[in-house]
Amino acid sequence: RLARAGHVTYKQTHQAIYDRRNALSSAHPFSARVLGQGHAFLYRQGMVCIQTGDIVRISDVRSSDTVQLNLTAIIQPMLESAFAESSCFKLSLMYYSDGILAVYAEAESLTNSGHLFVISTTKDPGRVVKAFRIVTSSKLFVRHNSQYLYYGTHTGVGDDGHHKWEISGVSLDEQLPLIDSKRPLLFEDFHGTDIGSTVAFEIHNDYFYAVSNQGTFQVEEVDWTSFYHCVKFPLYNPVDVEMEKDKCVYRRQHVQGPIHDSWTDLSLQLSERTNEVMIVESRREWARASSRQSRTFYTSKFKVKPKCSSGESSPSKNASETFLLPENDLFVDVLDSTNKPNWMPTPLQHTSSRHPEFSLDVTSPRTFMLARTKFRAYNYSCTSFLDLVEDDRCCNDPSLPPCLRIRVGSRREASLNIPPLNSKGKGRADEAEPTFDDFTQYQNSPIRMWPPPASRCPCSKRLHNILNPPLASGPSHSRTVIGVLDERTLVYMVKPGRSYNPSDDSALGTVVVVDFTRPWKETDSTPTPLLHKTDAGNSVEDDGNASCWQWNLGQNRLCKTGMCH
Ligand SMILES: *[C@@H]1O[C@H](CO)[C@@H](O)[C@H](O)[C@H]1NC(C)=O
Ligand SMILES: *[C@@H]1O[C@H](CO)[C@@H](O)[C@H](O)[C@H]1NC(C)=O
Ligand SMILES: *[C@@H]1O[C@H](CO)[C@@H](O)[C@H](O)[C@H]1NC(C)=O
Ligand SMILES: *[C@@H]1O[C@H](CO)[C@@H](O)[C@H](O)[C@H]1NC(C)=O
């Protein structure tokens, strides 16, 4: 897009795309720095919003543009005049997109009810675009673009009497009013309450997308197949008849083994190649009920059925017609009318839909337990996963907590001259194992850890100091990490671990930015392909700035080994 608009050349953009994919999938960032301290942060579209008390600082990670807003000064007069509310309230950053920040203000005396303020940060910074009351805010989330804002709460009540997600929209642009916004949309057949683990909501291409990996609310005694539920509707018209749904996007067969739910991550990502929305789920499973757990990153196309025409016949009440059932399965005979089993034969799949953390030839891989894995992400476009782990084998300093390190694994389509992986296991007569419609072979890269141990060289030591900021509460052994990874940058905040007392909210955290893109100005002047940078690259100590590290080509002043990246 930048090249089309004439801002940079196609050569630069190609190199930039190549650089960042290569840098991310091989764990070779271009820079790392401490951005500042705060209580909470958001990161999206290259902009970091850091909140410290009343103040929110919105800065571009790739330039020095910064806007600072005093939220109390913006919100308090409005709360008092427009809503006649008390002046004691708590502020939470909800979402940032397209130069607009959504902030939720909750009165301290009245929890679970408050006001959402939509504040411009670019045109006329501090202008309140919209403000309205949210009656009950349980599980509140916000997604918006420059035209429409949607928020959801887990407060609806479905036909079955259980709580359901309710989604409401407002227009942020007077020229583009919502066609119908009277009532919130109730997500009736859509289960799961944990955003990022059992449900995900996103706005892409002027549609609102929602996915859930939970089949039903009840536990079915007999069940075979798990599905994703997908829901989509156009932003300008949030009404039931515009909702397109599909609750039968194949997910997995239960016979594939139990899932370690604490590791499940669910997201909706846009394919850079096709602009399609993909469901990306990472699951740690005990493969076919064995004792070995392994993590796999699954991708499926987000799919909805075309809208039902009103004349379509209602679902048949005849159970034996409604449910598809497996043949030759002992359990079919024990079903009765109260069961609502799900079954679907395993569909033909593409090999790209499953990316195992370790390839078959890795016999005893090093893994990190959940408590040491502080952040997890998968990037579909780079076919890479990135974990932020606490590595107790990195630096032998018992007085310090284990080092935070980035752990990256990726895979690529193997080129033709690479022998196919062990083809053992193909053609097993096991119905849970998918059959693939292609024969693409993949090569997993070795899992890489970054940065190298601090003892390696001065700039490794500096990197450790940047990635492991000291906690305000002293070198406590427990810390919380909240992170966001997009296609180019990892931004995370390190805070003291939860102590479950009110002081948790007032604890300051440090925001660290690890960037996988080369700064634009350098792009054209470095013809050396990055692939060889392990041989040529070196880091320099830029004027002794301890809170900032940048990878530099060919300058060797301090680190003789040049292996800091
Ligand atoms: C923000 O504004 C409020 C209300 O005007 C004021 O009391 C407070 O001191 C301001 N905060 C800062 C850090 O300037
Ligand atoms: C239900 O299906 C069974 C088997 O196909 C059939 O015999 C029966 O008549 C159907 N009942 C209804 C109410 O459609
Ligand atoms: C992965 O990359 C895509 C496109 O490059 C980006 O939009 C997305 O935010 C990234 N997602 C994660 C979880 O890293
Ligand atoms: C170090 O770099 C950071 C981030 O670029 C900057 O804010 C800070 O002022 C620099 N410190 C020194 C001593 O130059």
Q: In the prediction, which pLDDT does 217 show?
A: 62
Q: Which atom of ligand 2 is nearest to the CA of 316?
A: 14
- DSSP E strands in 55-198: the ranges are 55-60, 66-70, 89-97, 100-107, 114-120, 128-134, 141-144, 148-157, 163-171, 185-187
Task: Tell me the per-residue pLDDT of 387-423, one tens digit each, with 9 for 90 and over.
Answer: 999 998 888 777 778 899 999 999 988 866 555 555 4
- 9-19: burial string, b at 16+ Cβ within 10 Å, e else: eeebbebbeeb
- Residue 385 beta carbon below 6 angstroms from any ligand 3 atom: no
What DSSP string runs through 14-36?
A: HHHHHHHHHHHHTT--SEEEEEE
pLDDT at 285 over 70: yes
What pLDDT does residue 432 have? Answer: 58
How many angstroms separate the alpha carbon of residue 320 from the centre of ligand 2? 7
Ligand 1: centre distance to CA 36 (Å):
20
β-partners of residue 194 are none
> Which ligand is the nearest neighbour of the Cα of 318?
2
Mutational pocket test of ligand 1: of 50, 54, 68, 91, the residue with most ligand atoms within 8 Å of the beta carbon = 54
Q: What percent of the chain has pLDDT above 70? A: 82
Could you read off the pLDDT of 432-484 as tens digits, one per residue? 567 787 888 888 888 999 998 888 777 788 889 999 998 877 766 688 999 99
User: Whole-prediction pTM value?
Assistant: 0.85
Give residue 314's pLDDT band: very low, low, confident or very high (50, 70, 90). very low
- Pick the residue with more confidence: 339 or 104? 104
Q: Write the pLDDT tens digit of every residue in 328-382.
A: 777 777 777 666 777 788 888 888 899 999 987 887 889 999 999 999 999 888 8
Contact 37 CB / ligand 4 (< 6 Å): no
- Residue with CA at minimum distance from ligand 3 atom 6: 487
Residue 296's pLDDT is what? 94
pLDDT bracket for residue 116 (50, 70, 90):
very high
Mean pLDDT of 538-551: 61
Is the Cβ atom of 31 under 6 angstroms away from ligand 3?
Answer: no
Q: Which residue's alpha carbon is nearest to atom 14 within ligand 2?
A: 318
Using the atom order of ligand 4, give the atom closest to the CA of residue 546. Answer: 1
Helix, strand, or coil (residue 465):
helix
Mean pLDDT of 90-114: 90
Ligand 3 centroid, distance to 381 Cα (angstroms) = 7
* Least confident segment among 8-22, 213-227, 320-334, 485-499: 320-334
Nearest atom in ligand 3 to the alpha carbon of residue 485 is: 14
Which atom number of ligand 1 is nearest to the Cα of residue 53? 13
